[in-house]
Structure 1
Amino acid sequence: MNIKHFYDKALAQGSFAIESEGQVALVDPSRDIQQYVDFAKQHDAEIIAVFETHPHADFISSHLEIQKKFGAVIYVNEKVGVSYDYMHMGHGDEVKIGAATVKALFTPGHSPDHNSYLLLDSKGNQKAVFTGDSLFVGDVGRPDLREGAGNIQVSRKDLAGMMYDTVHDVFSELSDDTIVYPAHGAGSLCGKNMSSELSSTIANEKANNWAFQIKDKDKFVDAFLEGQSFIPKYFPNSVEVNRKGAAELEKSVKNATRKEAVEIPKGSIIIDARLKEVFKKGHLKGAINIQNQEGDKFETWLGSIVGPEEKYYVVAENQDDLDFAIYRAAKIGYESNLEAGVVNPQGEVVTDALVPLDDFKKNPDAYTIIDIRNKSEVEDGKFFNSAKNIPLPELRERANEIDTQKPVIVHCAGGYRSAAGFSIVKSILPNAKVYDLSDAVEQFK
C-alpha cells in the first residue's frame, strides 16, 4: 500500500492518493488532475475512487472531472446534496481499495456534512485518517463557513458543539499511532492555529492540540468561536461549485479569452498580476496590483478582493505569466468570471511615487496610516498607534472612510498585501496622495 501526499503551498491545501494492488483512490483532489494521473501511471494503477470529505470553500475539487475521465466512483456523505452521480458513505460504511479498506467517519463541526476517512490495512489495522477540514495539526476546522452556504446551513455555535463531539467521541477513539492527514496546513484560512507540520498522529494531537484539552463543552465552544479570521468573498461560491462539480480545468483555462494591445473599458475591475516594482513604474489607471509569483497567495487575495459575481480583467507581463494567472484563478473557480486576460494593454498609464521614508520616520503624525492586516493580526500589536485598521478584503468597500486631508500610507505585515491595498486606495481615491510602505514596514516593527 502506498500513500502519496500532494501539497499546494499557495492554498496550503493537501490532497492524497492511496494505491493498493493496482487501484488508486484520491482524497480531496485539487482541480489540477495531472499529478494524480502521473501517480497512477507510476504505479501501473487505475484511479477508481474519489473520497470527498465535504464541499470545500477554499479551492475547487476535480472529483467530477476524474469521474468523467476515468469512471471513478465519487464517495461523499449524502448530506452534502450534490448534483453529480455519487455513492453515499455514512458513519461506519466501508469501501475496498485493493487490499486496503476505507471506512467513513462522520465528523461534523467544520461543516454539517463532513466525513473523514479511516484507512485500514489488509489485516484491519488503522493506518491513517484523512481528516479533511475537521482535524488539523494543532487545530480544528473553523465553524463559521456554513451559515450561508451549502445544502445544509447551520449556525457557527451549533457547528462548534458538533466539533466538540467529533473530537471527543470520534477522533479520541482512534488508535494513538494512526497517522493524521488533514486537508490544510499553516497559512490556510480554514483554521486559526494550524501547525507548519503537514501530518501528525492521534497521540500527538491528543497531547498537543488545544481541542482535545478542553473537556467542558461550553468552554470549548467559546474558545472555538473566538478569533476566527475573515471569510474571503469566494468561499461560499466555491462550496456551491464543488457541490455541482467543476468543468475540466485544461479546457476552462484554454477557453479563457486572451487579448493583446487592446484598451480595457473604463470602470472595469483590472487585476495587474505583475511584480509591484514593475507595477509602480507604469500601470493602467485604477488597476489593482495582486502579484503572481510562485510563492505568492494570488488565488486567496484575488478571491478576497474580487467577488465571485464580479467580472474582471487580468493584466500580465507576457503570455506565459498570463496563462499562469488564469490557471491560478481557475483553482478557485474564477476563470468563469474573467472577461479577458491582457498583455500590453492600451490606455492611460500612471506611475506611482516612492514612499517618502525619511520624512515619514520624522513626522508620522503628518500622514494618515492605514493598516490593512486582518483584525486578529492587529489585536496582536499595532506598528503605529495612530493607524486605522481596514482589512484588505474590506478595503474596496471602506476606502471612503480614509482621511485624505493628509498623505496616506498603506501598510501590511511584510509588503505583499500593501501593494494590493495601496492600489485599491489609489483607484477609489484618485485625488489623494497615497504611498505604499511596502517591505519598509520591517523597520517599524
Structure 2
Amino acid sequence: MKIEQIYTGCLAQGAYYIESNGEVAIIDPLRETQQYVDKANKENAKIKYIFETHFHADFVSGHVDLAKKTGAKIIFGPGAETNYDIHAAKDNEEFKLGHIIIKVLHTPGHTLESSTFLLIDENGKEHAIFSGDTLFLGDVGRPDLAIKSDLTKEDLAVMLYDSLRQKIMTLPDDVIVYPAHGAGSACGKNLSKETVGILGDQKKTNYALRADMTKEEFVKEVLAGIAPPPQYFAKNAMMNKSGYDAFESVLKQGDTALSPEEFEATANNEDALVLDVRSEKEFVKAHIPNSIFIGLNGAFAPWVGALITDIKQPIILVTPEGKEQETVTRLSRVGYDNTLGYLKGGIEAWQNAGKDIEVIASVPVDTFSKAYKNENIHVLDVRKDGEYQSEHLEGEQVQHFALDYINDNMDVIDKNKTYYVHCAGGYRSVIAASILKARGFNNLIDVAGGFAAIKDSDLPTTNYVCPSTLQ
C-alpha cells in the first residue's frame, strides 16, 4: 500500500494518491491531472477511482478531466448531483482497491454531500481518514458555504457537530488524518501548518473536538469570526458540479506569445485585463498602464479569485520569462480559464517598442516617517481586519479596509488626496495600489516593507492584541 500527499502551497490544498496491488485512487485532484496519470504509469498501475470529498469552493478539481483520460469512476458522497456521470455513494459503502478498502463516511456540515473516506488496510485495520473539509488539523470546515433557502449556517453547524462526534471521534486514536487543507486556506479559521496528523492528537488539541463541548457551544465557536467567503467560491463550486473545459485546451489558449502590438490590440479589442504577475518591486518600477498586479510570489490564485470578480474575464499576462505556463495553470486552478496569451519578451519588449509605461512611487519607512510627522498625509492600511485590530499605526489620518474588499470601498477614499498605502510586508499594498491606479486614483505612494518596517521605526502604533482574543 502506498499513500502520497501531493500538496500545493499556493492553494494550501492536499490531493492524495493511493495505490494497492496495481490499483490507484486519487482523492481531490488538482486541475492539471497529467501528473497523476504519469505517476500511475510509472508504477505500472491503473487509476480505478477518483474520490471527491465534497464540491470544492476554493479550487476547481481535476476530477472530470481525469475521469475522461482514465475511465476511472468519480465517487461523491450521498446526495451529490452533477451534470456528468458520477457514483453518489451510500453512507458506509465500501470500495475495494487492490488489497485495501475505502469506506465512505457521510459527514455533512461543511456541505451537505461532504464525506470522509476511511482507509481500511490489508489487515482489516482502520488506518487513515481523508477528511476533506470536515476535519482539519486544529480546526474544522466552515459551515456557511452550502446554505439553501431551507437551511442556515447554524443548521449546517449542527450537522457538522453530529458528523464529528458520530463518525470521526468514534474512530481509534491512532488513525492518521489527511485533511484537504492546511494553514492559508479560507475554508477554515485557524488551520495548522502541519498537513498530516493523528486523530488522537486532534481529540486532545482541536477546539472543535472537545469531549465536553455542547452542541450550542460548538455552533457558537465554529461560527465566531468567520469572514464572508471570497466571491469566487460559489463560482468554483458550480464549475465542480457542472463541469468545465479541458485543462489542456485552456493551457494551449493561454500559452500564446503576443508581440507588443498584438498584446495592445488584444487588450483593446477583447476588453482584456492586463494581469502582471512579476514581483512587486518590478511592478512599481515599470508597468503597462491600467494593468493589475498580483504576483506569483504570493498567494496568487486566491487573490485572483477574491479580486477579479468576473470569472470569465479575458486576461492577458505579463510574466517573468519561463513562467507563462505556470501562470495559466494557476489561474485555471480557481476557474479563470479565459487567458488569451502573454507579452512576448515581457516589459522590456514593451518598452523597446516605444509603448508607454507607468510607475508607482515607493518609499522606505524613514521617508514615510518624516512625512507622517511633518505633513498632513493620509495613510491606507489594506491588511485584514484581524491584523489591523491587533496592532496598527496610530493617528486620525489612518484609514483601513482589507484588500479583500477593495472593490466595495472605492467610494470611501478621495481621488484628490494622496495616500501612502501599506500592508504587512509590501505584496498586498502594491496589489491595492495597482487596482486603485487602474480606477483613476493617481496619487498613491507605496510604503516599502509595510507594517513590519513601520513597527521597527519610531512611529507610534497601538498596543499589540493577540488575534485569538479578538471577537
Does the aligned pair in 2 maintain the 1:367–1:407 contact within 8 Å?
A: yes
Moved more, 221-230 or 64-73: 221-230
Superposed displacement of residue 257, structure 1: 6.8
Identity rate, percent: 34
Whether 2:187 is the aligned partner of 1:190: answer: yes
Instruction: Choose which of 301, 304, 307 in structure 2 pairs with 1:302.
Output: 304
The 5 Å alignment of 1:87-126 reads: 87-126=87-126
Superposed displacement of residue 234, structure 1: 1.4
Superposed displacement of residue 309, structure 1: 4.1
Superposed displacement of residue 359, structure 1: 4.2
Partner of 2:469: none
The 5 Å alignment of 1:174-253 reads: 174-213=171-210, 215-253=213-251
Partner of 2:253: 255
TM-score by length of 1: 0.92
Moved more, 391-400 or 235-244: 391-400
Partner of 1:34: 34
Structure 2 CA distance, aligned partners of 1:440 and 1:372? 10
Structure 1 CA distance, aligned partners of 2:446 and 2:241? 40
Superposed displacement of residue 371, structure 1: 1.6
Superposed displacement of residue 59, structure 1: 1.1
Indicate the SS of the match to 2:142: coil
Does the aligned pair in 2 maintain the 1:164–1:220 contact within 8 Å?
A: yes
The 5 Å alignment of 1:65-84 reads: 65-84=65-84
Superposed displacement of residue 404, structure 1: 4.9
Structure 1 CA distance, aligned partners of 2:114 and 2:72? 21
Does the aligned pair in 2 maintain the 1:372–1:390 contact within 8 Å?
A: yes
Structure 2 CA distance, aligned partners of 1:154 and 1:327? 35
Whether 2:451 is the aligned partner of 1:441: answer: yes
Letter in 2 for 1:169: Q
Instruction: Choose which of 342, 350, 355 in structure 1 pairs with 2:363.
Output: 355
Does the aligned pair in 1 maintain the 2:423–2:450 contact within 8 Å?
A: no
Does the aligned pair in 2 maintain the 1:305–1:396 contact within 8 Å?
A: yes
Structure 1 CA distance, aligned partners of 2:418 and 2:237? 41
Please list every run of at least 4 consecutive aligned residues from structure 1 whose deviation after the TM superposition is greater than 6 angstroms. Answer: none
Does the aligned pair in 2 maintain the 1:372–1:421 contact within 8 Å?
A: yes
Superposed displacement of residue 53, structure 1: 0.7
Indicate the SS of the match to 1:377: helix
Q: Which runs of 5+ in 1 are unaligned?
A: none
Moved more, 236-245 or 307-316: 307-316
Superposed displacement of residue 36, structure 1: 1.5
Superposed displacement of residue 141, structure 1: 0.7
Q: 1:378 to 1:357 in 2, by over 3 A?
A: closer
Structure 2 CA distance, aligned partners of 1:439 and 1:193? 26
Q: Please, what is the CA RMSD of the aligned residues?
A: 2.1
Moved more, 16-25 or 257-266: 257-266
Letter in 2 for 1:303: G
Partner of 1:286: 290
Does the aligned pair in 2 maintain the 1:271–1:312 contact within 8 Å?
A: no
Q: 1:197 to 1:205 in 2, by over 3 A?
A: same
Q: 1:335 to 1:35 in 2, by over 3 A?
A: same
Superposed displacement of residue 78, structure 1: 4.3
Does the aligned pair in 2 maintain the 1:285–1:350 contact within 8 Å?
A: yes
Between the two proteins, the alignment pairs up a number of residues equal to: 438
Q: 1:31 to 1:242 in 2, by over 3 A?
A: same
Q: Please give the per-residue CA displacement for 1:326-347, whole angstroms capped at 9, x wherever unaligned.
A: 11101111023x3543344575
Q: Which runs of 5+ in 2 are unaligned?
A: 456-471
Structure 2 CA distance, aligned partners of 1:254 and 1:177? 46
Superposed displacement of residue 77, structure 1: 2.0
Structure 2 CA distance, aligned partners of 1:372 and 1:141? 26
Structure 2 CA distance, aligned partners of 1:406 and 1:357? 20
TM-score by length of 2: 0.88
Moved more, 326-335 or 344-353: 344-353
